[in-house]
Amino acid sequence: MEYRFLGNTGLKVSAIGFGNWLNSDTTDRQQKMIVLVKRAYSLGINFFDTAEVYGFGEGEIQFGEAFKALGAPRQELVISSKIFWAVPPTATNLKKVNQIGLSRKHIFEGVKASLKRLQLNYLDVVFCHRFDEDTPLEETAKAFNDLIEQGLIHYWGTSEWSASEIFEVREVCSRLNLIPPVSEQPQYNMMVRDRFEVEYGRLFDKYRLGTTVWSPLCSGILTGKYNDGTLPAGSRLQEFKDDFFLKRIYDQYFAEDKKEKLLKLLNSLAAVAKKLGCTQPQLAMAWVLANNDVSTAITSATRPEQLDDIVKSVEVMKKITPEVNKEIDEIIGNKPMPTIDVKTQGLKKNTRRELMIIKNQY
């Protein structure tokens, strides 16, 4: 395992993290989670991520029991959760309006509830799961600053915030002398890359912003199991087909007018993986890890063997040469446009990602 600093902090996280977004309220699932957490820890994974919205508390409960069964020293684990939705935002929850968003009330009550479910005294990182347009940033930032001062959390971050929103909250923290967010948790994979590779560039350069990216395998699409266009039994899209987000993923990539193009892309990636002597999931994860702006990439699993496989991508990462990166770019066809060179007023020769991969060779 490789360990990286979480942005501009002294905290080191495993290059691959383990998250439990997909869960269910069953005893069988709890036992599986214990096995998965133990395997993740044995493979060198020290970063574990969950959220109050995952199963609306069930994800945190399962992690809490798993950490208890693991019995590892607390100082060896880096545990994060996310705050925004403690309840579904539905008409039946109108009396629970203060359990959604980033008000001081919900931040404090939400973090304390998360700690209780996780059976922990503190969290290493808590993320604002989305931007809250209704709550003043001063209120949100001050609440997280106070949580840090009280020892309930060590750091705070954002998740799926735009660059402008992160710049804005950092300005607020600077003006009020508050501790700023140290990390962002965005989606980043071969299929979703513009925001990470382009929009956040200035944040990485100016603040060394950390990142705990989610869905590096694009909800399992890049694992190879869907290369023939079917949904195999036990696969994520089949097992959790009623999940709102996964329904959108299916419609986005497997709609009849898009399916043929997707399958051609997936099978071309399979050929690249075969050439490199790795599995398709390892190739997808290695591609993400080859970007040094990634502090940790969060994966999940339904079987321990999947973790065994994906951890090997740390070694495969060394095979993502400029030539391999170029080949993959040509296959997926979504490389962001290089930015403008201010001095020459022309397009830069390489993108930020390409420059990093070139640098990694030396």
Task: From the candidates 54, 155, 188, 200, give the one annotated as an active-site residue.
Answer: 54
CA–CA dist 305, 60 (Å, integer): 23
Give residue 206's Cα distance to chain centre: 22
CA–CA dist 7, 48 (Å, integer): 17
Let me know: does 66 contact 31? Beta carbons within 8 Å: no
184 exposed, middle or buried (CB, 10 Å; 0-12, 13-18, 19+)?
buried
- 3-class DSSP assignment, residue 151: coil
- Residue 127, phi then psi, degrees to nearest 5: -105, 145
Contact partners, residue 58, CB within 8 Å, separation at least 6: 23, 24, 25
- 3-class DSSP assignment, residue 118: helix
Partners of 66 in beta bridges: none
Q: What is the Rg, in whole angstroms, of the alpha carbon atoms belonging to the chain?
A: 20
54 is catalytic: yes
CA–CA dist 166, 159 (Å, integer): 10
Let me know: does 221 contact 253? Beta carbons within 8 Å: yes
The total of other beta-carbon atoms located within 10 Å of residue 252's CB is 14
The total of other beta-carbon atoms located within 10 Å of residue 157's CB is 25
Let me know: does 178 contact 145? Beta carbons within 8 Å: yes
* Alpha-carbon dihedral angle through residues 250, 255, 258, 263, given to the nearest 10 degrees: 60
Which residues are tagged catalytic?
A: 54
